A and B are shown apart, each in its own frame.
Chain A
Amino acid sequence: MRESLPPFQALLDRHAGEVLAVLRGAVGRVDADDCFQETFLAALRAYPKLERDDNLRGWLMTIAHRKAVDHHRAKGRRPLPVEEVEEVADARADLPEPDSGVWTRVGALPPKQRAAVTLRFAGDLPHAEIAAALGCSPDAARRSLHEGIKRLRKELA
């Protein structure tokens, strides 16, 4: 018999902060509010049908990522104004200094690299979970991440 799922509220309490941080990194502070609602509503809809509860966090991050991608598609644009990025940095102490401009550059990366970098550094996801979130193999996720970081290094050098 499978382990039973924890109350959804526990999931919300545990992960709301980091989901919000990832979304702010991906779509900017203002639009992150809507993506946050969409993410948790989608998660709540699907929740009782989950088979496993061993990686709820990765599952949530996957949904958050998809909502961010949907959001970009709907808006038909790639983000991110500088002011919003600064506030994201405020929200999480371990993110790069706001004036470093890193997140502005992250926002300008090709979608897959941007997603991989955001999930790795704002979401703190391991490669396997980034792969799951992007719907690709772990190797491909590693490559996207690597390419993204290489490009950022070059631009910031």
Chain B
Amino acid sequence: MREGQLKERFAERAADEGLVDVAYTSADSPFGPLLLAATRRGIVRIGLPTQDGDELLAELAERVSPRVLEAPARLDGARRELDLYFEGGLRDFDLPLDWRLSRDFRRRALRAVARIPYGKTRTYAQVATSAGNGRAVRAAGSACGSNPIPIVVPCHRVLRTGGGLGGYGGGLPMKEALLELEGALRPD
């Protein structure tokens, strides 16, 4: 058997034997390749095209487990839903998520972000309030900035008070394009 086949087979066997703590694959998107990573609990990390994949995998090895393998099967559902979403054919993701990379206030803020409906936007201040501390606007902003599961946890739907776009890990053009896709950017 060739080396490539042996490696693929190894990934399957490792997954069958419950030895893959973090499975990952890359998926196409209109913005470039995404890196999708999942634990047995659910999606733990999505890397945007602007982010360095190797760095991201090293971080997962350190923070979750070094048993990180390219094992695409576990990501099939996520890949399918993302494809549909980018085509405009899916409004709500129905994927199990693993929140372990966010703690405390950040996790509460991101859970609040996850509840923002498709096509709607909120301000950082509103996210702070939903997370239980209306004054922690800056912390809400940095929670969005550190969102480990962008797109599925839609931090692109969070804007500045007054309507400014704010920031986005994947670059502002991507944020704008996602909002446009969802029909959330209404012309004035």
A binds B: yes
Q: What's the minimum C-beta distance from B75 to chain A, rounded to whole angstroms?
A: 14
Q: What's the minimum C-beta distance from A19 to chain B, rounded to whole angstroms?
A: 10
User: How many chain-A residues does the 8 Å CB contact rule pick out?
Assistant: 21
Per-position contact with A for B91-104: 1 when CB-CB < 8 Å, else 0?
Answer: 00000000000000
Q: Which chain B residues border A10 with CB–CB below 8 Å?
A: 57
A:109-145 near B, CB below 8 Å: none
Among candidates B6, B14, B61, residue contacting A7 with C-beta atoms closer than 8 Å: B61
Among candidates B3, B6, B9, B66, residue contacting A8 with C-beta atoms closer than 8 Å: B66
CB <8 Å contact, A37 and B57: no
A42-50, A58-66, A68-76, A100-108: which lies at the interface: A42-50
For residue A83, CB closer than 8 A to chain B, the reply is no
Measured CB to CB, the nearest residue on chain A to B21 is A48
Among candidates B7, B60, B66, residue contacting A48 with C-beta atoms closer than 8 Å: B66
For residue A90, CB closer than 8 A to chain B, the reply is no
Q: Which chain B residues border A36 with CB–CB below 8 Å?
A: 6, 10
Known A5-B61, A6-B61, A7-B60: A37·B68 in contact at CB below 8 Å: no
For residue A97, CB closer than 8 A to chain B, the reply is no
Among candidates A9, A16, A41, residue contacting B19 with C-beta atoms closer than 8 Å: A41
- Chain B residues engaging chain A, CB cutoff 8 angstroms: 1, 3, 6-7, 9-10, 13-14, 17, 19, 21-22, 24, 57-58, 60-62, 65-70
Q: List 9 A-B contacts (CB under 8 A).
A: A7-B60, A8-B61, A16-B3, A41-B17, A44-B19, A44-B69, A47-B66, A47-B67, A48-B21
- Chain A residues engaging chain B, CB cutoff 8 angstroms: 4-10, 12-13, 16-17, 20, 33, 36-37, 40-41, 44-45, 47-48
